[in-house]
Amino acid sequence: MEVEVAMQKLKDHGFKYTQKREKMLEIFSNINGYLSVKEVYQKIKQEYPTISLNTVYLNISFFEEAEVLETTDLNGEKVYRFSCADHHHHHIICTECGKVQVINICPMDSIFGNPPGFTITGHKFEIYGYCDDCKK
Amino acid sequence: MEVEVAMQKLKDHGFKYTQKREKMLEIFSNINGYLSVKEVYQKIKQEYPTISLNTVYLNISFFEEAEVLETTDLNGEKVYRFSCADHHHHHIICTECGKVQVINICPMDSIFGNPPGFTITGHKFEIYGYCDDCKK
DNA sequence: ACATAAATAATAGCAATTACTATTTATTTA
DNA sequence: TAAATAAATAGTAATTGCTATTATTTATGT
């Protein structure tokens, strides 16, 4: 299962097992969209009311290190989602709730080599909009 | 000239002429790349050492309102550049110094209509890398 | 030159994130 | 199983990027 694979990735990177980390992974795996740190914090507080916001920040940074999460910016704050980094893809993102839909078109497919004066290291292609649930 | 056109745009939006605004516009027009608020602040302080950081923030927001600047996020902070909003385009951006190169390929050209469940409102396509000056 | 409406500077405030430190917990090894 | 250890956590403080407030100064129309 997804969460166990992620937990194993963490172990491979030298991070210990904790219940809170497992719960955080479950939160991410149950949502098909990006979550802000505060949203994760609100959700995990339902199960662990004494958890520190700091712990959420820390664990998210460890998850990133272990390549368990992918991240982007939404309305000026960092948001995260369960990574499916096994295949290259882009997203349609609901700017209201963070819900995503994967798209497999990549604009880099039609760009060959490095442009003069630049060495390419990465790219970002995101489509923004409203999902049906958030449409007025 | 570029700066004068921008100054006129400001006037059209009801903003007054000031030397500091003109100087800020000059700073943007002299650089082919994105600048952070702090970078603009550092540069303009050479001419107006008593200028407030707040004024730089305010004027930049007015410049945005008058569509004189375009913006993006670079390493988690907002950066701005002189706008060429007359034609739709994307950028190759040096993540080190913010230098940009315009590209006229748009990935949306090959995407027709709205995907099921989403109403598209916008998109972002940016290529990142190092410019020759910043390459090690 | 005067009136007035906006620009500026200085300061305070806020939200997101990071840093620090003492305590607690998970895992290693005896 | 129990002690040793290294890391995780909570609580708090500090930092950063940015916005809001207000008194003073400046640009511009009459």
pLDDT tens column, A13-72: 999 999 999 999 999 999 999 999 999 999 999 999 999 999 999 999 999 999 999 999
Question: Which of B117, B124, B132 faces A117 most closely, judged by CB atoms?
Answer: B132
Q: How far is B19 from chain A (nearest CA, A)?
A: 31
Strand C proximal to A78 Cβ, under 7 A: yes
Is strand C less than 7 A from the beta carbon of A57? yes
Put simply, the answer to whether B130 touches A121 (Cβ < 8 Å) is yes
CA-to-CA separations, A116 to B84, B92, B106, B129, in angstroms, rounded: 21, 11, 19, 12
Could A127 and B132 be called an inter-chain contact, meaning their C-beta atoms sit closer than 8 Å?
A: no
Q: Which residues contact B98 (CB under 8 A, 6 or more apart)?
A: B33, B34, B35, B36, B74, B79, B81
| Whether the predicted model's global pTM rises above the 0.85 cut | yes
- Across the interface, of A117, A125, A130, the residue whose CB is closest to B131 is A117
| pLDDT tens series, chain B, 136 aa | 589 999 999 999 999 999 999 999 999 999 999 999 999 999 999 999 999 999 999 999 999 999 999 999 998 889 999 987 778 999 999 999 999 999 999 999 988 888 999 999 999 999 999 999 998 7
Q: What is the pLDDT of residue B92?
A: 96
Compute φ and ψ for A81, nearest 5 degrees. Answer: -150, 160
From chain A, pick out residues whose CB is under 8 angstroms from the CB of B76.
73, 78
A1 has a pLDDT exceeding 70: no
- Chain B residue at shortest CA distance from A106: B107
Of A114, A124, A118, A73, which is closest to residue B94 (Cα–Cα)?
A: A118
**SS3 state of residue B33:** strand
Q: Find the closest chain B residue to A104 by CA distance.
A: B111
Nucleotide nearest to B52 (CA to C1'): C9
